[in-house]
Chains A and B, each alone.
Chain A
Amino acid sequence: NAGVTQTPKFRVLKTGQSMTLLCAQDMNHEYMYWYRQDPGMGLRLIHYSVGEGTTAKGEVPDGYNVSRLKKQNFLLGLESAAPSQTSVYFCASSSPDQPQHFGDGTRLSIL
């Protein structure tokens, strides 16, 4: 019973490099979300999706892109990583009338 799985768990990048974070859920949820958490702050919404093939911007979308080609997967991309994107990234999923389930996070450091 995996729930929400994020890969990788840790990653170190150099400024300017690109990478993709993968989120997979096995609960057949319609909605999926990407958040970032920085020290002393709560989670902030980056992008979200209300269904396969749809994406929308959240509170802090700049520097990130997302894709939801399959219902169970939600990808977060950094095209040109910047030190300000050093953070812990959390993926979540939910059905419209249920609370969000979160993955265990990806810790990303950009040097």
Chain B
Amino acid sequence: DQQVKQNSPSLSVQEGRISILNCDYTNSMFDYFLWYKKYPAEGPTFLISISSIKDKNEDGRFTVFLNKSAKHLSLHIVPSQPGDSAVYFCAAFTIQGAQKLVFGQGTRLTINP
């Protein structure tokens, strides 16, 4: 049973436009949600997070939205840049114990010039 799902394996967006990456989850006990970005042959790097008590968090070009009733979160990148081309993973964890992250399958974002 996959608790965190990213249903779009890939997404292609024009440079300068908005990229929207989506993530759904089933476990209502998750306390934090994170987005990681991964380039080939590198490890994931942290991008942005949101607590379950908030519905929006913004950091520069990146905004994460959380809809708890729908168990859905999304990452918006505005404007999209060629360097944003990467695989994006959403992840979640509960605060009991260590940060045991549960990851989605990832979405490959390609920004076209």
- Whether the pair A43, B89 counts as a contact (CB closer than 8 A) is yes
Interface string of A83-107 (1 = CB under 8 A from B): 0000000101010100111111100
* Count of A-B residue pairs with CB < 8 Å: 61
| Least Cβ–Cβ distance between A1 and chain B, in angstroms | 14
Taken together as a complex, chains A and B put the C-alpha atoms of A81 and B33 apart, in Å, by 34
Interface of B is mostly: loop
Query: A residues within 8 A CB of B105?
Result: 40-42
- Whether the pair B106, A90 counts as a contact (CB closer than 8 A) is no
| Least Cβ–Cβ distance between B49 and chain A, in angstroms | 6
Q: Given A42-B103, A42-B105, A99–B34 Cβ distance below 8 Å?
A: yes
- Whether the pair A100, B101 counts as a contact (CB closer than 8 A) is yes
| A48 within 8 Å of B (CB atoms) | yes
- Whether the pair A50, B98 counts as a contact (CB closer than 8 A) is yes
Partner of B99, one of A40, A41, A94: A94
Count of chain B residues with a beta carbon within 8 Å of a chain A beta carbon: 24
Residues of A within 8 A of B (CB): 4, 31, 33, 35, 40-45, 48, 50, 56, 58-59, 90, 92, 94, 96, 99-105
Residues of B within 8 A of A (CB): 4, 6, 9, 34, 36, 41-46, 49, 89, 91, 97-106
Q: A-B pairs with the 7 shortest C-beta distances? A: A42-B103, A102-B43, A99-B46, A43-B103, A104-B43, A102-B44, A50-B98
Instruction: A42-B104, A43-B101, A100-B99 are known; give 16 further A-B pairs, CB within 8 A.
Output: A31-B98, A33-B98, A35-B103, A42-B6, A42-B91, A42-B106, A43-B91, A43-B103, A50-B97, A59-B102, A96-B99, A99-B46, A102-B36, A104-B41, A104-B43, A105-B41
